[in-house]
Amino acid sequence: MENIKIKQRTNWKSRILNTLQEIGKSLQFPIAILPFAAILNRFGALGLSYTSNTTPDGVLHITNHIGYWISFIIQKPGGVIFDNLPLIFAIGIAFGLAKDHRGEVALVGAAIYLVISAMLGEHGIGNMIYDKVLTFKAADGNFSKLLYVENYKGDVLQNGKFVLSIGVLGGIVSGILASVLYNKYKEIKLPKALSFFGGRRFVPMIGLACAVPVALAFAIIWPWLQYVLMLMGKQVADPSKASVAIPGTMLYGFLNRLLLPFGLHQILNTFFWFQLPIQGNHIDPISGSSDGIIHWDYGDINAFTAKNENAGLFQSGFFPVMMGGIPAIALAMIMSAKKEKRNEVAGFLGGVAVVAIVSGITEPIEFSFVFLAPALLLVHASLTAIFVGITTAMRIQVGFGFSAGIIDYLVSFPQAWGFSQHHGGIWKVISNPLMIIPLTAICAFVYYSVFMILIKKLNVMTPGREEEGVEVEEQTSSSKQNSTSYDQSNKYAKQAKMIFDAIGADNLVSIDNCATRLRLIVKDNQNIDKALIKQSGAFGIKQLGTEALQIVIGPDVEHVVNELKKISN
C-alpha cells in the first residue's frame, strides 16, 4: 500500500511539472515575435518624435512630412504588436497547448479573449458591479473611486475611468481555456441531427459560452487584484524609491536565474515583463522631455516601449550579466579545462559565448554547469541579483525586446538616454546607459574570478575537466555500439538520430522546443541513455518528474526538432 501511495504522489507531481513545462514552452510562441517588433517600434518612434509634435489640445503637427511617413511605416508594424499583446498571447498559448497544434484552437483562443475584453471594457460589467463602491473626494476636490484608474497632468485629475486591464494574463487565461476545451471536445459526437456541430466545430460554441462566466469572474475579482498590483508597481517599479525597488528587483533577478533549469522563469518573466502595472510620465528618447501626464502601462517591456519614466528596472541588470558575466563563465571553464582539451572546449564554448554577448541567449553556457554543481547555480543567481540591484540603485533603465544582448542594448539606447536626461542633476551621469559598459567589464571580472576559484575548489567536472575513462564507463552498451555509426553529413540529422536512439522509439511521447531546448514528454525519463545524449553535442539534460525531459541544444534547436520529428514519424 505504501508503494502505491508513493507512485500516486510521483504521478501527481509529474502532471504538475508537465503542465508547467507546457505553459512555459507555449509562452515562447508569442514572445518569439517581440524582438523584431521591438526594433521596428523603437527606431520608428525615435523618428516620429523628431518629425512631429502634439499640442496640449491633442492636435498632431507634422514638421517633416517625408521623415514622418518613413518613421510611421517603420514604427507601426512593431507598435501594433505591443498594442495587441494580450490577443497575441491568447492565440499563441492556445496553439501551443493544443495536443495536435491545429489552427482552429488559435481562432477559439482569440474569440474567447475578444469576448472577455469586450465585456470588461469601458461601461462593461465591472463598472456595473463597482460603480457605487468605495467612492470618495480626491485631494483636488474631484469625485474619485478607489478602484478607478486615474491619470493626472501635474496635480490635475484628467479622468477617473473604471479600467480593468487584465492584460497579458487575460490572453493567457483565454489561451489555456481554449486549449483545454479543444483537447477535451475536439472529437465529441453529437446526435445525428446536430452532427454538423460535432467535433472541432463544437469547440467555438462551448468556448464562447464559457467566456461569459470567466469574464464575470474577472469583473468581480480582478479590480481588487489590480488595485494591489498597482500599489506594488508604485513602490517596486520606481527608481526613486530605492529602499523598495532595490530589494524587489534583486529578488526578481535571483529567482529568474534560480528557476532557469526548470524552465519556470518564463512564467515569472511573463508577470513582470507584461503584466505588472507601472505608473509614470512618458519620456521622449534622447531629449528626455516629459508629456506631463501620469500613465499606467502594464509590464516592464510594454512600459519601456511606451516610454514610461519608471520602466526598465526588471531588465537593465541583465545586460552586464549576459554580455559580461556569462561569457566570463565560458572563459573560466575554458581556462580551467585540461591543456590538451582546451582548444576543443574553446571551440564550442567560445561560439556560444559570442551568441550570449550579441543576442543574450545564455542557456547553453548555464546548462554546462548548473546540473554538475548546483552550488554554482546559487552563486550565479546571487551575482545576478547583485548586479540587478546595482543598476536599480544607479537608476539605469535599458530595455529589451528579447534578451539582454548587444543588439537590444543598441536598439534601446536612445530611450535609455532620454530617461537619464529626464532624471537630471548627478543622475544624468549615474543613470546614463553608457554606464552599462564599465558594469559589464566589472561583472565579467567578478564572474571569471569567482567561477575559476569555485570550479577548481569544488573540482567541478565542467567540459574538459572529466577524468579519463569516466565518460566511457558511464556509457551504456547501446551508446558504445552506436557511437561510431553516426557519420551522416547533416549534423542536425546526426544529433537528432543520437537523441532518438538514446530515448528509445517506444519511450518517446511528444516533441516540442523553446528558444534553446528540446522539450520532450517520454514514458519514463529515467530509461534514457544520458551519455549518448551528451555525446550528441547537447549542453545539458533536465528531468522533471518522471515524464518531462529537457535537452539543451542551443539557438539552432529548431533544426534538431525538425529532424527528430522526421525520424519519429
Catalytic residues: 514
9 grid coordinates: 504522489
Give yes or no for residue 151 having a pLDDT over 80: no
Q: What is the pLDDT of residues 258-277, one digit of tens each?
A: 988 777 787 788 889 988 88
Query: For residue 199, which amino acid is it?
Result: G
Q: What is the pLDDT of residues 22-77, one digit of tens each?
A: 777 777 778 778 777 888 877 777 777 767 666 655 566 677 778 878 888 888 88
**What contacts 533, CB < 8 A, 6 or more positions away?**
498, 499, 502, 503, 541, 551
b/e map 433-463, b = 16+ CB within 10 Å: bebbeebbeebbebbbebbbebbeeeebebb
Confidence of residue 477 (pLDDT cuts 50, 70, 90): very low
Q: CB atoms < 10 A from the CB of 77, how many?
A: 13
**Domains in the chain: ranges and CATH:** 1-21+488-569 (3.30.1360.60), 22-273 (no CATH), 318-457 (no CATH)
Q: The sheet that has 508-513: what strands, in order across it?
A: 508-513, 517-522, 548-552, 540-544
pLDDT at 124: 76
d(CA 352, CA 449): 20
Q: Is 154 left (phi over 0), alpha (psi -120 to 50) or beta?
A: left
Query: For residue 568, which amino acid is it?
Result: S
184 neighbors 177 (Cβ within 8 angstroms):
no
Is the overall model pTM greater than 0.85, yes or no?
no
d(CA 494, CA 498): 6
Q: What is the pLDDT of residues 479-533, one digit of tens each?
A: 444 444 554 557 888 888 888 888 888 888 888 777 677 888 888 888 888 888 8
When mean pLDDT is compared across 208-212, 222-226, 370-374, the lowest value belongs to 370-374
Give yes or no for residue 212 having a pLDDT over 90: yes
Query: For residue 278, which amino acid is it?
Result: I
